[in-house]
Amino acid sequence: MIVYYKSAVYDSRNMCVSLCVDAHESYVEKPGKTERCRERIQQEVEYALIKKEMIAMLLAGGQGSRLGVLTQSVAKPAVGFGGKYRIIDFPLSNCINSGVDTVGVLTQYQPLRLNTHIGIGIPWDLDRNIGGVSILPPYEKSTEAEWYTGTANAIYQNLRFMEYYNPEYVLVLGGDHIYKMDYEEMLDFHKRNNADVTLATIPVPWEEASRFGVVITDEDMRIREFEEKPANPRSNLASMGIYIFTWKVLREALITLSEQEGCDFGKHIIPYCHNRGDRVFAYEFNGYWRDVGTLGSYWAANMELIDIVPVFDLYDEYWKIYTKGEVIRPQYIADNAVINRAIIGEGTEVYGEVHNSVIGEGVTIGEGAVVRDSIIMKGTSVGKGTYIEKAIIAENVVIGDNCKLGVGEEVPNTWKPHIYSEGLVTIGEDSVVPHDVTIGKNTVILGGTTEDDYPNGVLESGASLVKAGDES
């Protein structure tokens, strides 16, 4: 039984849903309008339950081409990180830790592993009847099918999702950064300033400011100018690609610019809002934040996890990072194994030596093998007597016995020097490296290689050996 009062609705269990509906009494008192009253109350109760103050739209559809073969068959947010996690775990964990319990994850490039990892959102407490996590791929409309062509275009194509919750605010963020951030504090800043748009920004070293889009603000942090990768920057406040919009402002901007080719937040939506006089502010974030969009930055961010005093603490009880857990056997460390400053994943067996490295789940390090300054991902096997230095080895790779990786002089990669650099050896997932081969620096390997692929048993520094896929 439901009993109607002027400013509230009580069900038979005496639970109250706070609601103010005009003239309830007049509806109830007139017999012919009782059903209309019931329907109207029910609609408004449902609306009150569904409506969210702020929802998040998480852009996770990018390839991350600067990570080379690591993203040959997976989207960048699904790439492993820190021996246990995937990159998308960090923004998802930030959402639930910040009290944002409705998240739309926009996927496009190679979404299978990402979709499987997220599932219905159980690890992040996002398996909700109202809200929770929703996977939002591109879909076919009645008249056409269209891929996401830009960050803002992807959000525009999901207007219905946002309209369903009709939030006060929309948080837009990427799925490819490593950081801990309380979005509620950013929202409080947005409210205090009566902002229409708030950009999260972070101070960067002045010598690096020309690599970023930077903002120029007044003393109240209201943005007065934008500079996209300026040669001579006048500010070192770099945009983090995280935005809070007042919903009405975002909706109007998306609809107005819906025909803009490749509509993008940084290039189109933010300048549009600024030029029409919206209140656009910069929220300064001073915590840890890393863009792991290159192999060098990805490697460095992993290495920071094993510093004596790590600048990014994965063991923080007050801001946990959640991930999908696997049912895996315990680690095994042999009597003669040596481990020095390393992260070792569950189910990993170490019979050799591991120094200053991040080792994922279910990895085997053979007897007599030595691994230094490297990242080895889930399910990889390193043969006996093999030496590895400064390598990034993706999931389910098999490396033979008595190999040497990351040795010799540093020579620029002849195929893609802007990607495969900084002395790294990069091996894509499911690759095979045969026994007794030597691999130099700034090299890349993808696919099931054999002895015949290594002249005199050597892949020289700067060389590439790609036998699978069509990595462009």
Q: Range with the lowest mean pLDDT among 13-27, 184-198, 267-281, 293-307?
A: 13-27
Q: Range with the lowest mean pLDDT among 299-303, 306-310, 413-417?
A: 306-310
- Of 65 and 45, the structure prediction assigns the larger pLDDT to 65
pLDDT in tens, 189-233: 999 999 999 999 999 999 888 888 899 999 999 999 988 888 889
The pair of structure tokens assigned to 61 is 């559809």
Cα angle, residue 182 at apex, residues 171 and 199 outer, rounded to 5°: 45
Average pLDDT, stretch 377-393?
A: 98
DSSP 8-state symbol, 267: I
Average pLDDT, stretch 26-55?
A: 62
User: Whole-model pTM?
Assistant: 0.87
- Is residue 4 scored above 80 in pLDDT? no
DSSP 3-state of 384: coil
> How much is the pLDDT for 14?
37
Residue at 427: amino acid letter: I
pLDDT in tens, 328-374: 899 999 999 999 999 999 999 999 999 999 999 999 999 999 999 99
Is 80 within 8 Å of 392 (Cβ atoms)? no
> How much is the pLDDT for 5?
34
- Is residue 422 scored above 60 in pLDDT? yes
> How much is the pLDDT for 140?
72
DSSP 8-state symbol, 451: G
Going by C-alpha positions, the residue among 38, 183, 22 that lies closest to residue 99 is 183
Going by C-alpha positions, the residue among 169, 114, 167, 168 that lies closest to residue 136 is 114
230 Cβ neighbours under 8 A, 6+ residues apart: 209, 210, 214
Beta partners for 353? 338, 370
Average pLDDT, stretch 41-66?
A: 77
- Of 36 and 32, the structure prediction assigns the larger pLDDT to 36
> How much is the pLDDT for 210?
86
Please, which pLDDT band fits residue 405 given cuts at 50, 70 and 90? very high
Beta partners for 136? 106
Please, which pLDDT band fits residue 110 given cuts at 50, 70 and 90? confident
**1-to-20, 137, 250, 413, 419 alpha-carbon distances in Å:** 19, 41, 41, 74, 66
Please, which pLDDT band fits residue 142 given cuts at 50, 70 and 90? low
In terms of phi and psi (left: phi > 0; alpha: psi -120 to 50; beta: otherwise), the region of 110 is left
